[in-house]
């Protein structure tokens, strides 16, 4: 049974969330805290399998607690559960950057938390967070990292300049992905010879903020993919939350097209659709990248893609994944051509698609 710390300033919300969590035999709410200070004291003395953390609290809020845990190098596996986490996309991304593993939007009314959909989602995400590897003291990409990554790019550019062919990078990530993407996208050079399309499992309303944040850290241009966007080298296109991204081939151009099929693999956007849409493209090679995330999204799409196109698959190595689900599925299916640590993924992308 997994021991959980529940942190929320509302007594009613604590009771409701506690009832939901304890209703599942996999979990037990071992302790409750009314603010970040109480939680910090508990986390300094005890270890939990997961922490369910509110954002808005008196004395020390959720983000302040995450910063303090990083500062003190206290490891914890955090699930943010707040009314802020839907509309407050910036707050959510701040929390993920500070080490929270995932988030769930909590209804404003505690009684609405008892509905089946919220309960099912909370327990599903909590199970993934409790079984994850990533810890709150994990490092954030910095200006110093960008400087060292430029040296890496300079070293591989001699080889990368000789890489020929018209290629595209198609990347899939889920739980732990927003933080992991910060270790990959900012390390790509602006003269990358290929476009990059990304499916990161996120609800509608979050992917624009994610794209803006990655763009501010990167040499490559990063944007939320819009309907009809023409793909260009050196640009990263993040799939819009709540829709399925496809790449359409139109004469010599490739464009973004969204479809509204039901969720597949339980997610929307689903990377399988993205990969399968590339099977009719005229790209000489598709470089698929499968990163941290729960489930098996990407596996079937890549399998189908490999039957029609020259495809090279880079998979994130297990010990660097927050959740070794999607990469594990690709490896188990015999689809991986390379398995590399998170910090080396950008380098392998550059080596495979080249620079101009």
256 DSSP β-pair partners: 247
174 is known as an active-site residue: yes
DSSP 36: H
Chain mean position to CA 243: 16
By the 10 Å C-beta count (0-12 exposed, 13-18 middle, 19+ buried), 213 is classed as buried
For residue 28, report the phi and psi dihedrals to the nearest 5 degrees.
-145, 125
Catalytic site residue from 49, 54, 201, 218? 201
254 DSSP β-pair partners: 249
The residue assigned the tokens 């598709």 is 286
Catalytic site residue from 54, 84, 102, 297? 297
The residue assigned the tokens 């490559």 is 220
103 DSSP β-pair partners: 80
Number of H helices, E strands in the chain: 13, 14
Catalytic site residue from 132, 174, 209, 218? 174
Please give the structure tokens belonging to residue 255. Answer: 């464009």
Please give the structure tokens belonging to residue 90. Answer: 């910036």
Q: How far apart are CA 163 and CA 130, in angstroms?
A: 42
Q: How far apart are CA 85 and CA 203, in angstroms?
A: 11
Going through the chain in order, the beta strands assigned E by DSSP cover 2-7, 27-33, 50-53, 78-82, 102-105, 167-173, 196-200, 221-224, 235-238, 244-250, 253-259, 285-290, 311-316, 338-340
Positions marked catalytic = 174, 201, 297
């Amino acid at each position: 049974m997994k021991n959980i710390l529940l942190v929320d300033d509302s007594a009613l919300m604590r009771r409701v969330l506690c009832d939901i969590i304890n209703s599942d035999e996999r979990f037990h709410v071992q302790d409750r805290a009314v603010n970040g200070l109480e939680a910090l004291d508990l986390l300094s003395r005890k270890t939990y399998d997961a922490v369910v953390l509110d954002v808005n609290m008196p004395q020390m809020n959720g983000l302040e607690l995450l910063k303090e845990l990083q500062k003190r190098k206290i490891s914890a596996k955090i699930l943010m559960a707040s009314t802020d986490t839907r509309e407050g996309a910036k707050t959510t991304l701040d929390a993920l950057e500070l080490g929270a593993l995932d988030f769930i939007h909590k209804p404003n009314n505690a009684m609405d938390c008892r509905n089946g959909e919220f309960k099912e989602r909370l327990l599903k995400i909590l199970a993934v967070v409790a079984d994850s590897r990533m810890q709150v003291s994990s490092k954030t990409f910095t200006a110093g990292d960008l400087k060292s990554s430029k040296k890496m790019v300079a070293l591989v550019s001699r080889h990368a300049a000789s890489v020929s062919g018209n290629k595209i990078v198609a990347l899939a990530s889920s739980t732990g992905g927003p933080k992991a993407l910060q270790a990959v996208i900012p390390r790509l050079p602006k003269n990358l010879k290929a476009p990059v399309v990304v499916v990161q499992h996120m609800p509608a309303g979050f992917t624009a903020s994610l794209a803006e944040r990655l763009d501010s850290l990167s040499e490559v241009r990063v944007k939320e993919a819009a309907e009809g966007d023409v793909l260009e080298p050196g640009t990263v296109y993040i799939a819009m939350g709540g829709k399925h991204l496809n790449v359409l081939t139109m004469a010599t151009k490739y464009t973004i097209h969204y479809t509204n099929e039901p969720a597949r693999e339980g997610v929307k956007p689903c990377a399988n659709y993205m990969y399968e849409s590339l099977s009719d493209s005229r790209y000489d090679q598709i470089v698929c990248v499968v990163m941290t995330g729960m489930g098996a999204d990407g596996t079937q799409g890549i399998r189908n893609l490999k039957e029609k196109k020259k495809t090279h698959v880079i998979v994130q190595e297990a010990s660097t994944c927050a959740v070794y689900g999607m990469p594990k599925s690709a490896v188990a299916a015999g689809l991986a051509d390379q398995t590399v640590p998170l910090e080396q993924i950008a380098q392998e992308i550059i080596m495979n698609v080249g620079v101009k």
